[in-house]
Amino acid sequence: MMKRGFLIVIEGIDGAGKTTHARRLVRWLRKMGIQAHYTFEPTKGVIGRLLEKMALKRKVNVKVEALLFAADRIDHLDKIIKPLLEKGSIVISDRYIHSSIAYQSITVGDQEWIEELNKFAEKPDLVILLDVDPEIGLRRIKRRRARFEKIEILEKVREKYLELAKREGFKVIDANREVNEVFEDVRRFVEKFLKEKGVLQQ
């Protein structure tokens, strides 16, 4: 029987560098001879594209949005994550359930409901939180436009992420630093995890 792969999630507020480090991590793993795949949320599926359009609107029913994120995640798990894990791949996901909990518990105002809504989700094997100062994050994404790009919201979301990190045991990395320094920490955490799991030699 083929050994199941691992789900590694990169989380953080907008501008933390999730995409940069998730993609770089996949390249590093492949270089090490490990089967690795990059994926992200929201997806580019039908529901994910609808969420992208909604993100540009100022007035959105936040509960409908939360339900759509959960629906997109079910699709993501069924079509991408689970099949890859079953093939023994390491899946690196740029955002996952923690993004919903951190962002939507602020917009909806009911964390318990958001968590209940996402109970179906596959539990990740490792979560890395790229912790960045919201002002630095905003400077990095100044070319993009979305509803969440307000300093007050990002500050609350960051606090929520840090609460989750404490509760769930995420690996927290200071992402205010230069990109190579940050990636070195990401790589180190993943390397340690894979050695513990017997994927890489000690």
Q: What is the 3-state secondary structure (H, E, C) of 70-136?
A: HHHHHHHHHHHHHHHHHCCCEEEEECCHHHHHHHHHHHHCCHHHHHHHCCCCCCCCEEEEEECCHHH
pLDDT given at position 195: 97
Give the tens place of pLDDT for each residue, 63-117. 999 999 999 999 999 999 999 999 999 999 999 999 999 999 999 999 999 999 9
pLDDT given at position 8: 99
Nearest CA to 39 among 2, 3, 62, 5? 5
Reported as a pLDDT band with limits 50, 70 and 90, residue 60 is confident
pLDDT given at position 149: 63
- In angstroms, rounded to a whole number, what is the distance separating the alpha carbons of residues 195 and 175? 24
Nearest CA to 191 among 73, 56, 36? 36
pLDDT given at position 148: 55
The answer, yes or no, to whether residue 141 has pLDDT greater than 90, is: no
pLDDT given at position 201: 87
Reported as a pLDDT band with limits 50, 70 and 90, residue 14 is very high
The percentage of residues in the chain with a pLDDT greater than 70, rounded to a whole number, is 96
Domains, the chain: 6-196 (3.40.50.300)
DSSP string, 154-194: HHHHHHHHHHHHHHHT-EEEETTS-HHHHHHHHHHHHHHHH
The answer, yes or no, to whether residue 144 has pLDDT greater than 80, is: no
Q: Helices then strands (H, E): number in the chain?
A: 10, 5
- In angstroms, rounded to a whole number, what is the distance separating the alpha carbons of residues 94 and 169? 18
Looking at residue 200, what DSSP letter applies?
S
The percentage of residues in the chain with a pLDDT greater than 90, rounded to a whole number, is 85
Give the Å distances, CA to CA, from 166 to 15, 115, 127, 178, 187: 21, 16, 12, 25, 21
pTM: 0.94
Range in 28-42, 97-111, 129-143, 179-193 with the lowest mean pLDDT: 129-143
The answer, yes or no, to whether residue 162 has pLDDT greater than 90, is: yes
pLDDT averaged over every residue in the chain: 94
Give the tens place of pLDDT for each residue, 20-46. 999 999 999 999 999 999 999 999 999
**Rounded mean pLDDT of 144-154?**
70
The answer, yes or no, to whether residue 147 has pLDDT greater than 60, is: no
pLDDT given at position 146: 54
71: its two tokens: 């629906």
